[in-house]
Amino acid sequence: MGSERNVIRRLRKVVPEMECKEGCHDCCGPIMFSRWEYGRIPDREFSTVVCPYLSLVSGCTVYEERPLLCRLFGSTTEVKEMTCPHGCKPEKPLSVRQMSEIMDDYIELFPFVEDEGGQLVHGLSVRKGKYVFGGEDDGAG
């Protein structure tokens, strides 16, 4: 767990900070957590529609400990699915290559699982170094 913590902390430092639109929660939804991230925030019942840590009154209730994927949202202007719909972005957005490198390190924290055919596949169904954003291969492999 210690090395997982170190990876998450290192990756958090790479993701640029940005100011969000006050009261916005357009990017909040079900996301994946590493074991270390999950252990740092209180248990909640998960929904397939909205994040269990979102309060419509006070916003993100775990903002300081929010998972890496929450931190990544809005940090790029090159990936449509990760771009803020309100135009919020950091001073220096991440490139697709930088996001892919961050995700390469992040997915290493998740175990491989056996699929229906008995083959080992990554628990996130993502191949390292090969990401498809918006239906196009970014070539980062």
Domain boundaries, the chain: 2-135
pLDDT of residue 38: 73
Please, are residues 140 and 131 in contact by the beta-carbon 8 Å criterion? Answer: yes
Question: How many residues does this entry show for the chain?
Answer: 141
- Which parts of the chain have pLDDT scores under 50? 124-141
pTM across the whole model: 0.69
Written as six digits, the tokens of 109 are 């924290």
d(CA 91, CA 18): 7
What is the dihedral angle through the alpha carbons of 50, 126, 67, 2, rounded to the nearest 10 degrees?
150
| Rounded CA separation 21/44 (Å) | 25
Nearest to 90 by CA among 102, 101, 78: 78
Per-residue pLDDT at 66: 87
Q: What is the pLDDT of residue 108?
A: 81
Of 97, 125, 92, residue with least CA distance to 15? 92
